[in-house]
Amino acid sequence: MEPSIAAGEEIDVDTASYAKSSPARWDVIVYHSPQGDGQLCSRVVGLPGEVINFTKDGLTIDGKPTTPPSGIFKPDYKMPAKAAEIVIIALPYTVPVNRYFVMGDNVYNSVDSRYWGALDVARIVGKVHNK
């Protein structure tokens, strides 16, 4: 999650944060990895029902350009060259009900929803504070 969270940095996770509300776009969350390799941390990018796409101009949601928080994604975002070998989603991608499209802030070195699809809400542990 660099640059937002440095390797080895301790974070505070509110495990009750989504008991009465849903994750919001740009929230940083901790979740159980769909690949079974422990808990991970990513940023919520797409909400249930939204259409996610990446164009030469960057991230679009429901066909509209999206401006992420400062310093997170590069405006010239492209799928990494090696991604074609392991990506299971097709773009544009519609986020299913009860799922969230999540990405690491270091988009060139993050295995996230671009590779394994949207994250099931049941896998979310909680919200990271102050990130």
The CATH number linked to 65 is 2.10.109.10
Q: Which domain holds residue 57?
A: 13-128
Tell me whether residue 23 is exposed, middle or buried, using C-beta atoms within 10 angstroms of its C-beta: 0 to 12, 13 to 18, 19 or more. buried
How many distinct structural domains can be found in the chain?
Answer: 1
Tokens representing residue 109 in the block: 């070195």
φ, ψ at 76 (rounded to 5°) = -95, 30
Could you give the C-alpha distances from 71 to 1, 3, 10, 91, 93, in angstroms and in order?
Answer: 12, 8, 20, 24, 24
pLDDT tens profile 62-96: 999 888 887 676 544 555 555 555 666 888 999 99
Q: What is residue 56's predicted lDDT score, i.e. its pLDDT?
A: 77
Q: Do residues 100 and 118 lie in contact, with contact meaning Cβ atoms separated by under 8 Å? A: yes
More confident residue, 118 or 4: 118
Residue 59 lies in a domain: yes
Residue 1 lies in a domain: no
Residue 45 lies in a domain: yes
Residue 18 lies in a domain: yes
Residue 30 lies in a domain: yes
